[in-house]
Amino acid sequence: MSKDKILRAAMEVFSENGYHRASMDEIALRAQVAKGTLYYNFPSKSQLFKTMVKEGFEDIMQRTQADLNTPLPIKEQILRIIRHHLDLFLESRHFSHIVFNELSNGIEQDVLEELKELRREHLRFLASILEESKCENFIHPDVDTNLAAASVIGTLESTCNYYLSHPNEYSRDDLERFVFNIITKGMFISIE
């Protein structure tokens, strides 16, 4: 079906070029449909973008959720969340970049709000997982889980970026372990 071909092509092109440098011509070319077909299926570039982002978010949340359905020790749960997000950030690097960072400006106002809401939803999803851990006394009682969720995402994004722009300095496992440690234990020994 055209719609799917277009969405796949859009994911590629947006990822490779960012929102603005991605052109509808290129997407049509990559999807092997005529340009008109894009507009037959999606009302505008920004709406196509939004649909694509939405599916991405739903996918990561669903996969994470599925993985947490079976009862697991807390440590394992954290590790799996990290792993899923590292997958996303490393494999669909540019997509995740757009999704997590390029949403503050430069995108049409109408769609921007919806995209931000999607991101907030994702953060709420992560926060709710953390909240559960907090209830079970795994997390410091003074830690705000909303900010913590944001901080997890920020740490993942930023370290992935570093990892990707310094190839050969670390292994993927190093990265995973680092993020796990920094999130759980912080970096300092004790400074009080």
Partner DNA sequence: TATGAATGAGTGTTCATTCAT
Partner DNA sequence: AATGAATGAACACTCATTCAT
- Measured from the CB atom, the residue of 105 and 190 that comes closer to DNA is 105
Comparison of 1 and 191: residue with beta carbon closer to a second copy: 191
Q: Which two tokens stand for residue 50?
A: 């939004």
Q: Does 106 bind DNA (CB under 7 A)?
A: no
Smallest gap from Cβ 15 to DNA, in A, equals 15
Shortest distance in whole angstroms from residue 59 CB to DNA = 23
Cα separation, 7 vs 12, in Å, equals: 9
| Among DNA, a second copy, none, partner that 25 touches (CB below 5 to 8 angstroms by kind) | DNA
User: In angstroms, rounded to a whole number, what is the distance separating the alpha carbons of residues 177 and 180?
Assistant: 5
Choice between 69 and 104, CB closer to a second copy: 104
How far is 10 from 4, CA to CA, in rounded Å? 10
Residue 138 contact among DNA, a second copy, none, beta carbon within 5 to 8 Å by kind: a second copy
The token pair that represents 161 in the structure block: 């970026």
CB 60 within 8 A of CB 122: yes
Radius of gyration for the chain, computed over Cα atoms and rounded to the nearest angstrom = 19
Q: How far is CA 171 from the centre of its chain?
A: 21
In the list 8, 29, 39, 83, the residue contacting DNA (rule: CB under 7 A) is 39
Summarize as ranges the residues that interact with DNA (CB under 7 A). 1-3, 21-25, 33-41, 43-46
